[in-house]
Structure 1
Amino acid sequence: MTETKTRRRGAELERAILDATWEQLSEVGYTALTIEAVAKRAGTSKPVIYRRWASRAELVIAAWADRIPIDPAIPDLGSLRADLVWLFDRIARRVNGMMSETIAGVMGEAFRHPEVVDFLRNRLETRPMHQSLSTIVDNAVARGEMRPVPLTRRVLRMPVDLIRSEAMFSREGIPTVAVEAIVDEIYIPLLKGLAVD
């Protein structure tokens, strides 16, 4: 008697693809990762993957976000600095969870393919981190630590930009001391300089 192979769909198929992507990424790195190898490992086909993710970079970012999800809960630790260190440290831990070769590979594809730039920009501008940062600044204003600050897209995106830049030169991951320096030397002075009179 022959067994009929059931076809996976929806969430089950997506789970298999994301797991296969992460496993391939861990084994061979970003440069050697192929959609064909991911499809084979997930038991599906390249067209099925490309219907969901338009590029290798998009697929890898989706697998990474799935493995290291963003927690939208924001503690109020009593000071702007403590809250920012907490947030920047969370971002650093997410970046530390992605191999630096992968970050470099995704950024390289972004330089060559405008659609990858659009995808990354959309992810950055719709992520819960923006709301988290707004909440932290609002709490600081309410405590009387600072005057209100207009949080433009660039200001909201800057924590990720600063941490990603630090990650490019850190082989062992971003240490807490570096996170604190970024907050103290760059981000708090920026916010205070932008505060409205």
Structure 2
Amino acid sequence: MDEQKSIRRRGDELMESLFDATFKLMNEVKHTNLTFGQIAEAAKTSRSVLYRRWPTTFDLLQDIYTYKAKKLFDGEFLDKLEDTGSLRGDLNQLLTICQSVYDEIGSEVIINYYYIRLQDKDNSREPQVHTKAVNKFVEAMKTILENAKSRGENIKVTSGVALMLPFDLIRIENLVRMQGIDSKRLETLVDEILLPVFKE
């Protein structure tokens, strides 16, 4: 009966149970050594449930952590952005909101996600949601810079690589500063890195 119930799990319920089980297992087993059998047993489901949906454990792990980082990749937090009246204010607001999302998701989820992505050496299995997220981030930065131009601020012509800089900075900061990132640190990133890149 328990087996039948576990097999019927779908969607968020299944992903949550897989995440909890995998997270515990990784305290004992490395990502590269995890098997479907171990994950299925820990999650109290069957291997057939996993085999039907994921061809390899890499694909399973990537989907688990993509699911947990869904809010980041959905980019809905970008809807909270408002025109603050200055590029400095807009960039500080952007980093602050991004950081709040990272704080909510948790550094361990983020670190594990990017660790798993590193296993995809030729980047041939990048999840589609990741690609869409990059496009959303770039569009958000274009809007911020256009607003600055319309206010009369002198904005430099930049590439798509530069437009991803605010998001890349937050990602790197969260990978190397697991103890936390405060508002003063975010302001420093804006003043010493971002403004010199985007503003004359």
Q: Do both share a fold (TM > 0.5)?
A: yes
- The Cα of 1:138 is off from its aligned counterpart by 0.8
Instruction: Determine helix, strand or coil for the equivalent of 2:198.
Output: helix
Match of 2:61 among 56, 60, 67: 56
The CA deviation string for residues 59-85 of structure 1, in whole angstroms up to 9 with x for no partner, is 312222158853231211111111111
Change (3 A) 1:164 1:14: same
Partner amino acid for 1:48?
Answer: R
- Mapped to 2, the partners of 1:75 and 1:42 lie a distance apart of 45
Match of 1:46 among 32, 43, 50: 50
- The Cα of 1:31 is off from its aligned counterpart by 7.5
- The Cα of 1:182 is off from its aligned counterpart by 0.8
Change (3 A) 1:67 1:134: closer
Partner amino acid for 2:85?
Answer: G
- Mapped to 1, the partners of 2:104 and 2:87 lie a distance apart of 26
Of the structure 1 ranges 30-39 and 88-97, higher mean CA displacement relative to structure 2 is found in 30-39
Deviating beyond 6 angstroms after TM superposition, the runs of 4 or more aligned structure 1 residues are none
Conservation of the 8 A alpha-carbon contact between 2:88 and 2:190? yes
Of the structure 1 ranges 33-42 and 92-101, higher mean CA displacement relative to structure 2 is found in 33-42
Instruction: Determine helix, strand or coil for the equivalent of 1:83.
Output: helix
Say how many residue pairs are matched.
Answer: 185
- The Cα of 1:188 is off from its aligned counterpart by 1.0
The answer on 1:90 being equivalent to 2:103 is no
- The Cα of 1:98 is off from its aligned counterpart by 3.9
The residue correspondences of 1:170-185 to structure 2 (distance < 5 A) are 170-185=177-192
Sequence identity, in percent? 20
- Mapped to 2, the partners of 1:163 and 1:36 lie a distance apart of 36
Match of 2:162 among 149, 155, 167: 155
Match of 1:79 among 86, 96, 99: 86
Of the structure 1 ranges 26-35 and 14-23, higher mean CA displacement relative to structure 2 is found in 26-35
- The Cα of 1:118 is off from its aligned counterpart by 5.0
The CA deviation string for residues 65-117 of structure 1, in whole angstroms up to 9 with x for no partner, is 15885323121111111111111112222223344344333333333323657
Conservation of the 8 A alpha-carbon contact between 1:138 and 1:148? no
Aligned-residue Cα RMSD (Å) equals: 3.5
- The Cα of 1:145 is off from its aligned counterpart by 1.4
Partner amino acid for 2:120?
Answer: H
Match of 1:168 among 161, 172, 175: 175
Structure 1 gap segments, 5+ residues each: none
- Mapped to 2, the partners of 1:88 and 1:148 lie a distance apart of 20
Change (3 A) 1:60 1:42: farther
- The Cα of 1:21 is off from its aligned counterpart by 3.9
Of the structure 1 ranges 56-65 and 173-182, higher mean CA displacement relative to structure 2 is found in 56-65
- The Cα of 1:43 is off from its aligned counterpart by 4.3
The answer on 1:110 being equivalent to 2:117 is yes
Conservation of the 8 A alpha-carbon contact between 1:17 and 1:49? no
